[in-house]
Amino acid sequence: MAYLFTSESVSEGHPDKVADQISDALIDNFLAFDKDSKVACETLVTTGQVVLAGEVKSTTYLDVQKIARDTINKIGYTKGEYMFDGNSCGVLSAIHEQSDDINRGVDRASKEQQGAGDQGMMFGYATNETENFMPLALDLSHLILIELASLRKENKDITYLRPDSKSQVTIEYSDDNIPQRIDAIVVSTQHDDFGDDETMLNKIRKDIVDILIPRVIAKLPESIQKLFNDDIKYHINPTGKFVIGGPHGDTGLTGRKIIVDTYGGKGAHGGGAFSGKDPSKVDRSAAYATRHIAKNLVAAGVANEILVQVSYAIGVVEPMGVFVETYGTCPFNMTDGEIAEKVSQIFDMRPFAIEERLKLRAPMYSETAAYGHMGRKNETVSKTFKQPNGESKTLDVELFTWEKLDYVNKVKEAFKL
């Protein structure tokens, strides 16, 4: 029997994502001037206020207030009427030095013997239902909000948009797990107060359906475009007007959108957030590594859908184990346990080996903090960072290295494909 599956996304202006972006901007600035920095930084945002807290071990000094303000302004919170804007909000820093007790278990005389920064299990997932090997419902949810943010910043076709928004897409699948059609789309967007409620809501609905959705469809391959139809149920700002939003409407915290950040509810999640953590924290680095593994396995033809789990003990260099689930989609006669054994032979999952393989000691994290950490474009960009003393550094940074299909040939060779 056909079934429905739903995923959601939230915009860069959502309060939790504002917090994630500030935390990751701090990570990038620390790594830009001291690539060995150890950082765990949490952010809270609310009406007119930002609170930074966490632990840092680094040789560099940063103006964390300026970094927070610049991040908020870049997102689009630049007006006093939002009750939260980068130029006037208060920024309180309670960042202190990392505990030696924790650091003792991570740093070693040989970097290759670096222990895991914490215990836990991390999951990576990939499916061949989209070109970027991501679940379709989440991919569409992200794209809707990316285009909505573009419309907001263009300020031409739609001129009343504010930064906070959410989306949700429900897809009907066949019994053999093939997407058949889009059943429903939800978009809730913050907006200016530009009239009576009925006039505003009618205008917003018309613009979302007639302007936003066609822009989204135009960016999709033909196979996905066919899933859009005249029977889609649209829920646009279903609770009514949405003028009060962002950190003024809802307090935001780092790490509260872990399903949006990963696979939209497909696969599994170990529970650890990513933003605000340097790559010695396996919550982040091993989640990227397992995505890299799963994507390369699916691209190589090992299975149509794959979940990879790895687990660690704090301070221990070797993982506790690697688990693979192919959901019965492996086309050749090999058990999931046998596949997991080969994965362990192909991919070195020691924390330092992951950092080296995926080049994780670069300031690459601000771009991950909105619209998902997985399924994004691997590219190299130029980034400039400034210290309070005026020192400036420009770096070429490779983004989303875990999305590279650089192990496909090695996988094919190992599995004789």
Feature table: binding site = 14, 16, 42, 55, 98, 164-166, 241-242, 250, 256-257, 273, 277, 281
Query: Which residue in 262, 77, 93, 67 sits closest to 161, CA to CA?
Result: 77
**Separation between Cα atoms, residue 387 and residue 6, nearest integer Å:** 44
Q: Which residues are annotated as a binding site for K(+)?
A: 42
Structure tokens at 326: 């192919």
Q: Could you tell me if 299 and 133 are in contact, meaning their C-beta atoms sit under 8 angstroms apart?
A: yes
Strands 3-10 and 90-97: what pairing? unpaired
Q: Which residues are annotated as a binding site for Mg(2+)?
A: 16
Strands 179-191 and 233-236: what pairing? parallel
Cβ within 8 Å of residue 413, ≥6 positions away: none
Q: Which residues are annotated as a binding site for L-methionine?
A: 55, 98, 250, 281
Structure tokens at 6: 């739903």
**Separation between Cα atoms, residue 107 and residue 100, nearest integer Å:** 10
Q: Could you tell me if 401 and 359 are in contact, meaning their C-beta atoms sit under 8 angstroms apart?
A: yes
**Separation between Cα atoms, residue 239 and residue 244, nearest integer Å:** 13
